[in-house]
Every structure is written in structure tokens, then in C-alpha cells.
Structure 1
Amino acid sequence: MQTYGNPNVTYKWWTGNSGVTNRSGKFIAAHAAHTGLISFAAGANTLFELSRFDPSLPMGSQGFVSLPHLASIGIGFDQLGAWTGAGVVNIAVVHLVFSMVYGAGALMHSLLFPGDMQESEVIQARKFKLEWNNPDNQTFILGHHLLFFGVACIWFVEWARIHGIYDPAIGAVRQVNYNLDLSMIWQRQFDFLAIDNLEDVMGGHAFLAFFEIGGGAFHIATKQIGEYTSFKGDGLLSAEAVLSFSLGGIGFAAIVVAFWCATNTTVYPIEFYGEPLDRVFLIAPAWVDTVDLSGTAPLGHSGRCYLANFHYIAGFFALQGHLWHALRAMGYNFKDLGAKFKFAAE
């Protein structure tokens, strides 16, 4: 955290990041707790939506978020391709159970396990200590993150290939093989909003799995080569810098998702998410429904509308956080800004 030259700085209770900055055990506890909250929200909201789902109305006109995601990956359909909600409760309950497991893990890391992994008796655990300006330490941790992301992509690709996902082109769940055409994947980087082929979607995920697992293995195996200079991050790589990188990635991804969700009907089928949205400017850019859902959806909005606007707003603020923490990592003193305003006012 930026201390502005004060080595004995203290932070208020609401400055949550300060409590885990150099304490990897507490950092893991916070991660586990956040994951538990997300898992609980997913499970609880799925049950809530299922309790008020009206099968006589199109799912896309009822303002749902969780059920459409499950339906899009082929969960909730019977063998004849009709929506029955089969398996939805199981998925929700699993998320609720996992939320308790994550919560227990968070409490154990917070109360029982060492606050700093360097103090752990487990040799492997000590490797996950936090040394923000140590590139070997940071690349080791980054590599493990990439491995898990790659495995998640493999799971999704294999799920689509073996179980099948919903294809709006035929209105049914079907098995989808990945199209690992590198020229297609490169081209799709520039027109991904117009993707209308599930094989291309799976091909992108298959390539991403290979790329992430390869990158993860590289980061775990390699060490800093040559002298660690300012060009490589010496003096800049810090807790603030890593936080700014994370917020930048999250913000960019959220805004991409907002545009994709608002317009694409292959990955986000109309049957489940509602009609594509119109982009308007209401104080700030926003998306609005193109059909009247006041009689069927909460607050009269489709799930597509909720998803697009939430991701856009969240992404916008994440990017502001990225800029804030990036400037602090570079040594900018925001107190100087206040002093300048005070001087200008006088």
C-alpha cells in the first residue's frame, strides 16, 4: 500500500486491502471468503428464480440471470430437448454447499492457520508467500492461477463435446466439437461480437486452454533471467501495482462482456435472455430493452438488460480503480492534488 513516506501509517477498518497486503495467509482467507459469497449468491439466486419461473412464458421475458446461464450450457432439459428444470436444484444446492466449504476455509486461514504463509510448517505452502517486488515469487503464483483457468476452459470444451450445450440455431441442446482453426481464432479477435457458430466459440476456448496451461507451466518453471531492472518492474512491482493489473483486466473483460451480452444471440440466446438491446445515453452510456416487459419481468427489464448494464457499470468503476492504484504504484501523491485545489481556491 502507498504510505507516502510514512513507515508507521495506520489504516481504518474499512481499508480492507491493508490487512492482507503482506500477509499471504490472510490474503488467501479473503479470497476464500469472497469465493464463498459468490457461490452462495449463485446458488440462492438460482433457487429464487426457479421458485418464480412460469413455464407458460418465455424465459427471456421473465428477467432471469441464473436460469438462462444454466439453460445455455444444456442444464434443465430432458432427453427430448424440452425444458423441465431437471438438475437445476442440484446445481444450486452444490453451490450452497461449496459456499459453506469456502467459508470454513476462510475462517480456518483467518483464525487457525498462519497469517503469513512464510510461517507455515508445510514446505509447499511457504512457496506461496507474498513478496511483491520479487518477480520469481509473483510469476510462481501467477502460473498456478493460469493453470486453473486453463483447466476450467478444458472442462467447458469437454462439457460441450460430451454433454452438449444449447444451440439457438436449431433450438435444442447438441454436442459441439471445437474448431481449432488458428486463422479463425485470430480473425475472431476483431469481430467476436458477431460470432454465430458454437464450434468457433469452443475453438477459442480450446486455444485459450492450451495458451493458459502453457503460460502457467512457463511461469512456474522459469526464474527471473538476467538482472532485475526498472524496465522489468523493479521499483514498480508492488501490491498496488498487482492490484491495478487485476482491476484493469477485470474492467476490460466486464466491458467486453457488456457489449457481447447486449448484442450477441448465439452465446446469449433470445429464448433465455430476451431480445438484443439498444444502446442509449442516459447521463452515461446504457442499454435498454427493445420490447415491453413490464408485465412479466421484475422492474420491466430482461436478464440481458441487467447483465449488460451491470457489467458495464462494474467495468467502468474497475477501470477507475485501476487508474487510481496504478498512479499510486508509480508514486503519485494524491494529497498533492488536494493541495493544488486548495491553492487554486485561494
Structure 2
Amino acid sequence: MQTYGNPDVTYGWWVGNAVVTNKSSRFIGSHIGHTGLIAFTAGANTLWELARYDPSVPMGHQGMMSINHLATIGLGFDEAGVWTGAGIAFIGIFHLICSMVYGGAALLHSLVFSEDTQNSSGLFADDRPEHRQAKRFKLEWDNPDNQTFILGHHLVFMGVACVWFVEWARIHGIYDPAIGAIRQVNYNLDLTQIWNHQFDFIAIDSLEDVMGGHAFLAFFEIGGGIFHIFTKQIGDYTEFKGSKFLSAEAILSWSLAGIGWMAIIAAFWCATNTTVYPVEFFGDPVELKFVLAPGWYDAAPIDGAPLGHSSRAWLCNFHYIIGFFNIQGHLFHALRAAGFDFKRITNAVSNLDSIRVNQLAD
């Protein structure tokens, strides 16, 4: 965190990022706690939507956000392919249980374990192998070997998630709006097709191509993760490679940029794509209009829908707004990481006020 030249700066309890900046175990605890909040929200919202779902009204007209996503991956249907909501309650309860586990782990990292994994000894004062392994996840912002080691593990986990999704579609099956039923989908690992879809992915209409893209991502991410885990810095660690620039604030800015960019892409994709976002579950495609601000609107208000908007309209606008503010956060933290002093702005404004007061006095 930028200290503006004050080496003894202290932060209030509400400045969460500053509290965990150089304390890797606390940093991990905040991540796990955040994951627990997400799991709790997903589980609670799933059960709430299931309790109020009306089968006589189209799902996309009921403001649903959780059970329609579960429906797209083939959950909630019976063996005949008819929507019954079967298994949805289990998914919601499972997420609530996971949130408690995550919450407990977050409390352990925040209150019990050492503040820094570099000093990790778990609950016992010994040097067990797992404790030595934990020490490898210490935070050394200007150590490229440390940063690439941690990055590698993140990539592997994301790749494994892609593998899970691809195998789920291949073995269990997902919903295909073209036939209105659940079917098994094999991935189309055609690199030419995958490359072409970099430019028209919003209009993609083949589930095989969707799975092919995820299979490619799985290979790319796991391969990249292994590379980052087992390789070291090659050559001198120059400023071009990030020397004197890597920091908690810089990584926060990149994370916000990634989340913001993905949210904005998701907004455009959800607005028009009916293969990944079926009309049956999200409502009809929406239109981009400029009213007070750019936003997506249904062709006509929907009677009975929350504020007259379909699930697709709510989903698109939520992603777009969240993405917009994440991009602003990225710019703010990136400038701070680069050394820009925002107090110069407030000081300049204060100077202008002083000059104006003096002029009025004269």
C-alpha cells in the first residue's frame, strides 16, 4: 500500500487491504473468508429462488439468477428431461455447508495461525513437512520466484475447474436449447475453430465449440501453472519484468482489471447469446440503449417480472455496472502502484480555493 512517504503510517480496521498487505496467512484468510461469503450467497439465493419458483411462469420472467444457471448445466431435471427442481435443494444446502467450512478456515488464518506463513508451524510447535510446504506461500512482492510459484497454483486450480466442466458436459450432459433437452456434449478441440471464435464468441451457437474452448483453456492453464511452479527467474530481474513494481496494490489492480473485463464481456454475451443463455431460462435477448447511461432493456416491459425486467436484463446490467466500477478500481490502484500521489489532486484543489479566497479578499 502506498504510504505517501510516511513509514509509520497506520490504517483503521476498515482498510482491509492494508491489514493483510504483508501478512500472507491473513491474506489467505481474507481470500477464504471472501469465498465463504460467495458460497453462502449462492446457497441462500438458490434456496430462496427454489422456494418462490412458480412453474406456470417462465423462469426468465421471475428474476431468477441461480436456478436458471443450474438448469443450463442440466441440474433440476428428471430422467425424462422435465424440469422438477430435483437436486437443486441439495446444491443450495451444500453451498451453505461449504460456506461454514470456509468461514472456519478464514477464522483460523485470521486468529489462530501465524500472521505470515513464513513463520508457519500450524497448531503445533514442530517442523512437519506440511508446515514447511506452507512456508513456500509466503509473500515476497519483489521476489519473482515467489510470485510465479503462487501464480502457478492459481492457474492449475482454474484449469482443473475447466476440466471438471468439460467432463460434466461429456458424462452427465448439459441443456441444449436447440432440442430443448439435456444431452451429452463432447468437446470440439479444433484449434482453428477456437481461434476463429476469439472474434465472434458472442454469437457462438455450438455447445461442442463451447466445450472445446474450455478444454483448450484447461490445457493452457494447467500447462502454464506447471511451468510457473517449477521454473525460476531467467536472467536479470529488470523493471521491464516487474522489478520494483510488484506489490499488493499492483496485484489488486490486475485482479480488478481481470474481473471487470470479464464482467463486461459477460454482459454483452448474455445480452444476445441464446445458446449459453437459453431463452427458456433467461428470457428473450435484450437491446442496448442509452437512457441516462448505457444499459440493456427488454423489448417491452414484462408483466409480473421484478420491476418489469427479465432475468437476462438484470444479469446483463448487473455485470456491466460491476465491471465498470471494477475497471475504475483497477485504474485507481494501478496509478497508486505506479507511485502516483493522489494527494497532489486534493492539494491542488485546496490551493485553488486559497487563491480564490485571497482574490476575493483583495
Q: TM-score, normalised by structure 1?
A: 0.98
% identical equivalent positions: 68
Cα offset, 1:343, TM superposition: 3.0
Q: Which residue of 1 aligns with 2:321?
A: 313
Q: Which residue of 2 aligns with 1:214?
A: 223
2:134 is matched by which residue type in structure 1? A
SS at match of 1:13: coil
Cα offset, 1:240, TM superposition: 1.1
Note if contact 1:275-1:291 (Cα within 8 Å) is conserved in structure 2.
Answer: no
Cα offset, 1:291, TM superposition: 3.4
Alpha-carbon distance in structure 2 between the residues aligned to 1:123 and 1:28: 16
Aligned with 1:160 (options 161, 166, 169): 169
Alpha-carbon distance in structure 1 between the residues aligned to 2:303 and 2:63: 10
Alpha-carbon distance in structure 2 between the residues aligned to 1:293 and 1:274: 10
Q: TM-score, normalised by structure 2?
A: 0.94
Cα offset, 1:302, TM superposition: 1.4
Structure having the higher Rg:
2
Q: Which residue of 1 aligns with 2:80?
A: 80
- Shifted more, 283-292 versus 14-23: the winner is 283-292
Alpha-carbon distance in structure 1 between the residues aligned to 2:117 and 2:220: 29
Alpha-carbon distance in structure 1 between the residues aligned to 2:19 and 2:254: 19
Note if contact 1:154-1:206 (Cα within 8 Å) is conserved in structure 2.
Answer: yes
Alpha-carbon distance in structure 2 between the residues aligned to 1:170 and 1:76: 17
Note if contact 1:29-1:109 (Cα within 8 Å) is conserved in structure 2.
Answer: yes
Aligned with 2:339 (options 324, 331, 335): 331
Measured against aligned partners, the alpha-carbon deviations of 1:222-268 in whole angstroms (never above 9, x if no partner) come to 11111111111111111111111111111110100010011110000
Aligned with 2:233 (options 214, 219, 224): 224
1:253 is matched by which residue type in structure 2? M
Alpha-carbon distance in structure 2 between the residues aligned to 1:188 and 1:144: 28
Alpha-carbon distance in structure 2 between the residues aligned to 1:204 and 1:265: 17
Alpha-carbon distance in structure 2 between the residues aligned to 1:48 and 1:61: 16
Query: Does residue 119 of the first structure (1) align with residue 110 of the second (2)?
Result: no
Q: Which residue of 1 aligns with 2:206?
A: 197
Q: Which residue of 2 aligns with 1:129?
A: 138
Alpha-carbon distance in structure 2 between the residues aligned to 1:38 and 1:299: 25
Cα offset, 1:299, TM superposition: 2.1
**What is the aligned length?**
345
Cα offset, 1:36, TM superposition: 0.6
Alpha-carbon distance in structure 2 between the residues aligned to 1:284 and 1:342: 31
1:73 is matched by which residue type in structure 2? I
Alpha-carbon distance in structure 2 between the residues aligned to 1:206 and 1:253: 19
SS at match of 2:137: coil
Query: Does residue 64 of the first structure (1) align with residue 64 of the second (2)?
Result: yes
Superposition pairs for residues 7-26 of structure 1, below 5 Å? 7-26=7-26
Alpha-carbon distance in structure 2 between the residues aligned to 1:170 and 1:157: 20
Note if contact 1:76-1:88 (Cα within 8 Å) is conserved in structure 2.
Answer: yes
2:102 is matched by which residue type in structure 1? Y
Alpha-carbon distance in structure 2 between the residues aligned to 1:32 and 1:275: 37
Cα offset, 1:298, TM superposition: 2.1
Query: Does residue 37 of the first structure (1) align with residue 45 of the second (2)?
Result: no
Aligned with 1:279 (options 283, 288, 297): 288
- Shifted more, 109-118 versus 202-211: the winner is 109-118
Cα offset, 1:341, TM superposition: 2.4
Measured against aligned partners, the alpha-carbon deviations of 1:115-142 in whole angstroms (never above 9, x if no partner) come to 1101102100000001111111111000
Cα offset, 1:342, TM superposition: 2.7
Alpha-carbon distance in structure 2 between the residues aligned to 1:339 and 1:113: 42
Alpha-carbon distance in structure 2 between the residues aligned to 1:88 and 1:34: 23
Q: Which residue of 1 aligns with 2:348?
A: 340
Please list every run of 5 or more consecutive structure 1 residues that lacks an aligned counterpart in the other structure. Answer: none
Aligned with 1:172 (options 178, 181, 184): 181
Q: RMSD across aligned C-alpha pairs, in angstroms?
A: 0.9
Q: Which residue of 2 aligns with 1:239?
A: 248
Measured against aligned partners, the alpha-carbon deviations of 1:11-62 in whole angstroms (never above 9, x if no partner) come to 1222110000000111111111111111011011011111111111211111
Alpha-carbon distance in structure 1 between the residues aligned to 2:36 and 2:114: 20
Alpha-carbon distance in structure 2 between the residues aligned to 1:344 and 1:283: 32
SS at match of 2:296: strand
1:126 is matched by which residue type in structure 2? K
SS at match of 2:21: coil
Please list every run of 5 or more consecutive structure 2 residues that lacks an aligned counterpart in the other structure. Answer: 122-130, 356-362
1:328 is matched by which residue type in structure 2? R
